Amino acid sequence: RRRAKMSSALAPQRIVALIPARGGSVSIPKKNIKPLAGRPLIDWVIQPALDSGIFTEVWVSTDDDTIAETAIRCGAKVHRRAAETATSTASTESAMVDFVSAHPDYNVLCLIQATSPLLTPSDFTGALRAMRKAGADSLVTAVRAHRFLWSVDASGIASAKNYDPTHRPRRQDWDGELIENGAFYFTTKAIMEGTGCRLGGKISLYEMEEHTLTELDSLVDWLIVSHMVEQYGYFPAKGPSSRLAALAAASSTAVSSNLFGRAPSRAVAAVALAAGLALLARRLA
């Protein structure tokens, strides 16, 4: 199993990554392993977690056999979560408690959301440094957005929540709002055991790039993010998740679709892959 060498500056604690990925997603069926730009969704968070070098272990918590198999192929370990933590009404915290009850050997737990495919290894290392510098007990990630917020009362009257409309600030004169993007969280064992919550005690914040304020709740979201990962997603230098492999897969898919106009058989797919690789070689020449 590949894992980047841990930086000596970040090494003292046992830091474990947890990616909840239940099988019963409603808005997009099997969302956690649905191909995004040629890779299963969870692979987009597993690879940067592995290559960050700060995690002793990277786990996927799931109740689904196919997700479990995919997670192992991507390089993660698998925790079989209890059925009651994998329902549509169960909280993420219940999955965290279920996991640490079975795997108590950790100092810091990192909850990673599978629906945040624009993560990079430097996000994890930067956040850990920020948490340690602040001497914090937990950490939340956020994005700075310059958006004016409003509310409307029962009578239909609107009021501004974060600015004075009579003195409308220019973007360059205003720090904006920090919005929790739900990408990942760090929680010390003391906080997890004491509160059962991802955030508590002294909380630090790691500010991420604006493009990481993404949602994957609909197929429209999926289409938008599938284009974003080409520019902002993380591609390992080598292996099946590398940019070269992604280009080859895209090329073979295009060739097979153009030649056959339908989903190819295994034999046809093999021919298409060879043609795709040849096409890729010409592109890169």
Catalytic residues: 168
* Residue 142, phi then psi, degrees to nearest 5: -150, 165
Count other C-beta atoms under 10 Å from residue 24's C-beta: 12
Rg (CA), the chain: 21
DSSP 179-217: EEEEEEEEEEHHHHHHHSSSS-SSEEEEEE-GGG----S
Dist CA 245 CA 3 (whole Å): 19
CB 51 within 8 Å of CB 125? no
Residues β-bridged to residue 226: none
Label the pairing between strands 138-145 and 177-188: antiparallel
